[in-house]
Amino acid sequence: MADGLPILKWGRAYDRTLFARDATAAVIVTVMLIPQSLAYALLAGMPAQAGLYASILPLIAYALLGTSTSLAVGPVAVVSLMTAAAIGNVAAPGTADYAAAAAALALISGGLLVAMGSLRLGFIANFLSHPVVSGFVTASALIIAAGQLGPLFGIDVRGHAMPQIAASLAEGAGGLNPRTAALGLTSLVALLALRRHGRRGLARLGLSDRAADLGARMGPVMVVVATTFVTWVFDLAAEGVAVVGAIPQGMPRPSLPLPDLDMMRALAVPAVAISLVGFVESVSVAQTLAARRRERIEPDRELVGLGAANIASAVGGGFPVTGGFARSVVNFDAGAATPAAGALTAVGITLAALFLTPLLVHLPKAALAATIIVAVLSLVDLSVLRRAWAYSPGDFAAVATTLGATLFLGVEVGIGLGVGVSVLLLLYRASRPHAAIVGRVPGTEHYRNIRRHAVETAPGILSIRVDESLQFANARFLEDLIYGEVADRPDTKHVILMCSAVNDIDLSALESLETINERLRDAGVDFSLSEVKGPVSDKLAGSHFLGHLTGRVYLTQHQAVCDLARRAGLPARPEAPAN
């Protein structure tokens, strides 16, 4: 088991060249991660320093157990919002109980991820379909951006759903702080300008494309430095501008949070949601970047790596973490060669926590709010509604339900309803699979839908193809389909079920096949199968079904039609496609 640890695979070949690449990437990501960590800690309702704590031990844990060479683990916007929504039901922000609950949430989430990885349950995340994830992320980003309008303008904002946020913004509009608003809006405009034009402007100054791109990504750092300096010089804190304030230097003493039973019950459901959302976001980023280097990501190993990172965050006084898109891309572009880049980033964050925190006393929260708004706006993708509507009403229902429920009812309800709708749609589609009456394409041995192609069919032979595995959800559908088609064709003597798209037959479907065989026999109709796949054939061979089958099992559909037509002396005839 130990030989399978990812670190032992890349660690044996680690040399100075790889170290130089990892160290360069770590310096760049560290500079980027410091303002992000502070901002996302405030978003999660935690003290700013908790963001730094959540960016140290988790990175080391992931470096030991993760499989991605580029994934940068730490606080992210959506998971931070989910953390605030979950802990807000357990404790008041700013209290010791709140910090303890956040650490407990990270511990529970980490334990769930490790357990899922150990049991190879990574496939569970597939129940979070892309439409659901897109709708959830878009809605969460809008909620985050709206919630950050409070600190951007110096207004107290409450709630984790759009109605509560809008109400508190309207209620507090009269208490807007002009200096805070000016600082926040200036920061917002500067960040947007740097994001849109920074790369081009730096390139015009003679920097290489790579250097210009990395420089533009450092925009939040420049804004943090500039606004902190302005706030300090003009003593804006005395004018009502909210600042981060004194941040304790040093590191907290590692401790393992031990939540009581009541807290575990209160945090269990949010922990599941955070685990799944965090894993989906993280593994998507990791696989995207791995594909560009022709590397391989092991999802079950990723579960263990992310789980260990969250447990480490809990031990280090942090909150739930996952792989972040923006910082992972920067890590990749900066040349990170192994997961050791994350461990080196943790060293940089540790140094910042030890020596740089006194410089952050005058950091205005409005600047951090602007940083968050600009970061999450890139996650908003309302075009998914149009694309889903044009492609599939079912997917549109999943997107719209998830987006609407998240916006107006909160993140936990939104993700729960989204998954529920997706599962219901999956069951509905499985219960009504595509099926077709097929005939032979003239001059070939291929059989296609008679409604789409000009094909030849033999009188008295009914060939039906079902394009789905046969299971309890569609067993009755198959019975009704065959009985109905036979009733519409009184001259039918043979029914062939073409199984080329059937990958499995469960016990309920097997019983339906037995019933179909018996009823067709009573009606004087033989029942045969064709193109049955090996694993399905093996399962049928272990049952009594084949021994009672009135027809045969044929290797190909063409063989079945030719044999039955020859035995009955039936010719084939052309049949035009229906309109």
pLDDT per position as a tens digit, 507-543? 999 999 999 999 999 999 999 999 999 999 999 998 9
Burial 553-574 (b: 16+ CB within 10 A, else e): bbeebbebbbebbeeeebebee
Q: Is residue 319 pLDDT above 90, yes or no? A: yes
Placement of tokens 């609950």 in the chain:
101
- Give the pLDDT band of residue 75 (cuts 50, 70, 90): very high
- Give the pLDDT band of residue 292 (cuts 50, 70, 90): confident
Q: Is residue 250 pLDDT above 90, yes or no? A: no
Name the phi and psi angles at 574, rounded to 5. -75, 145
Q: How far apart are CA 43 and CA 57, in angstroms?
A: 20
Burial 451-467 (b: 16+ CB within 10 A, else e): eebebbbbeebbbbbbe
Contact between residue 439 and residue 423 where contact means Cβ atoms under 8 Å apart? no
Strands 526-530 and 553-554: parallel
Burial 169-207 (b: 16+ CB within 10 A, else e): beebeeeebebbbebbebbbebbbebbeebbeebbeeeb
Which segment of 237-251, 465-479, 536-550 scores lowest on mean pLDDT? 237-251
What's the confidence (pLDDT) of residue 53? 93
The 3-state DSSP class for residue 456 equals strand
Token pair listed for 219: 């925009």
What's the confidence (pLDDT) of residue 133? 83
Placement of tokens 């805070």 in the chain:
180
Strands 553-554 and 573-575: unpaired
The 3-state DSSP class for residue 46 equals coil
- The full DSSP string for 499-511 is -TT---B-HHHHH
What's the confidence (pLDDT) of residue 89? 82
Token pair listed for 373: 């708004």
| 95: DSSP letter | S
Our CA angle for 565, 567, 571, nearest 5°, is 30
Q: How far apart are CA 442 and CA 35, in angstroms?
A: 68
Q: Pick the more confident residue, 502 or 24.
A: 502
Within the chain, which residue ranges are assigned CATH 3.30.750.24?
435-575
Name the phi and psi angles at 244, rounded to 5. -60, -40
For the residues 400-425, what does the mean pLDDT come to?
88
Which segment of 242-251, 318-327, 446-455 scores lowest on mean pLDDT? 242-251
CA distances from 97 to 89, 101, 302 (A): 12, 6, 30
Task: Catalogue the long-range contacts made by 562-565 (C-beta closer than 8 Å, 24 or more residues apart).
Answer: 564/458, 564/461, 564/494, 564/496, 564/526, 564/528, 565/458, 565/461
Contact between residue 486 and residue 520 where contact means Cβ atoms under 8 Å apart? yes
Our CA angle for 223, 229, 230, nearest 5°, is 90
Q: Pick the more confident residue, 536 or 131.
A: 536
What region does 514 belong to: left with phi over 0, alpha with psi -120 to 50, or beta? Answer: alpha
CA distances from 159 to 177, 240, 411 (A): 21, 23, 11
Token pair listed for 9: 């695979």
pTM: 0.79
Q: What is the pLDDT of residues 100-121, one digit of tens each?
A: 999 999 999 999 999 999 998 8
Which segment of 2-16, 169-183, 423-437 scores lowest on mean pLDDT? 2-16
For the residues 4-33, what does the mean pLDDT come to?
84
Domain 435-575 listed as CATH 3.30.750.24: yes
Alpha helices in 455-530 (DSSP H): 475-488, 507-522
What's the confidence (pLDDT) of residue 579? 39
For the residues 202-231, what does the mean pLDDT come to?
80
CA-based radius of gyration for the chain: 30
Closest CA to 438 of 470, 469, 478, 465: 465
- Give the pLDDT band of residue 576 (cuts 50, 70, 90): very low
Q: Pick the more confident residue, 104 or 576.
A: 104
Q: Is residue 434 pLDDT above 80, yes or no? A: yes
Neighbours of 167 (CB within 10 A): 13
